[in-house]
Structure 1
Amino acid sequence: MALTVSGVILFAVICLLLLRGGYLRVLPAIAAVLFGFLLASTGMAPTIQSGLDGVSHAIASIHT
């Protein structure tokens, strides 16, 4: 749960920076958010979540 919340916050900050910088318009941003909500309710959501979990574990296992 904490990883999911931190991921949401990270992507929200990225989207806000892109909106403020003029690289992303408001309507495409809204469309992307709505697409995310619809995608989360499909049968592909567990596959996407496991892929994100794998990436986060790979990043966490990198020792500097």
Structure 2
Amino acid sequence: MTVSVRGRWLLRPAAAVVARLARPWMRRALVRSLDGLAERWNEEVPKAVARGPLQWRAELLREP
């Protein structure tokens, strides 16, 4: 993962240290998020594919 930081030259070294220390936490958070996304995908996509065109049309035309 690459991150570029703009700003004051004095804060760049501090930001680099913080990013280095936070790397394991950020990696775990990213993996957790992607796992959650894959779970939702596996739950929702088969339901969406199983709907027929008439069901999709009725859902899209229904007023909120």
| TM-score (structure 1 length as normaliser) | 0.38
TM-score by structure 2 length? Answer: 0.38
